[in-house]
Amino acid sequence: MKVTFEEYQAMTYEIDGVIYTPEAIFLTEEVDGEIRHFAEITKTAEENYKNIINPPAPQPTTEEYLSKEVANIKINSMKKDVIITNALQTIANLKVEIMGMKGGNS
C-alpha cells in the first residue's frame, strides 16, 4: 500500500505506552513538478507488534530436518527389528511346544 510520508507518520500503533510503526520502503517522486515523499507499506504497525509478542516459529535448517528424518528412519528400523525378533521367538516357542507334544521326536 502506497501512502504519503505524512500518512505513514500517522500509521502508528500504541499499546502500553509503546509506539509501533509500520515497516515501509521509502520513495521520492516528482508529482506536478513537486518532489513528494511516499512510503510503500510492507507490514503494518499492528503486524509488527503481533510479530514481536508472538514471533513466528523458527524453521528448522536443512541439517536439522535431515537429522530428524535419519533418526525417524532408525527408530522405524528398530521397531521392525523388534517385530521380527518377537516373531522368531514365537516360532521358536511353538517349535518347542510341538516337540514336547510329540514326545521329543522331530
pLDDT (tens digit per residue) in 27-69: 999 989 999 999 999 999 999 898 888 877 889 999 999 999 9
* Residue 41 to residue 82: CA distance in whole angstroms: 58
CB 14 within 8 A of CB 22: no
The confidence score (pLDDT) of residue 24 equals: 95
The confidence score (pLDDT) of residue 105 equals: 58
Residue with the bigger pLDDT between 72 and 100: it is 72
Examine the pLDDT at 22 and tell me if it is beyond 60: yes
Whole-number mean pLDDT of the chain?
Answer: 91
What φ, ψ does residue 21 adopt, rounded to 5°?
-115, 160
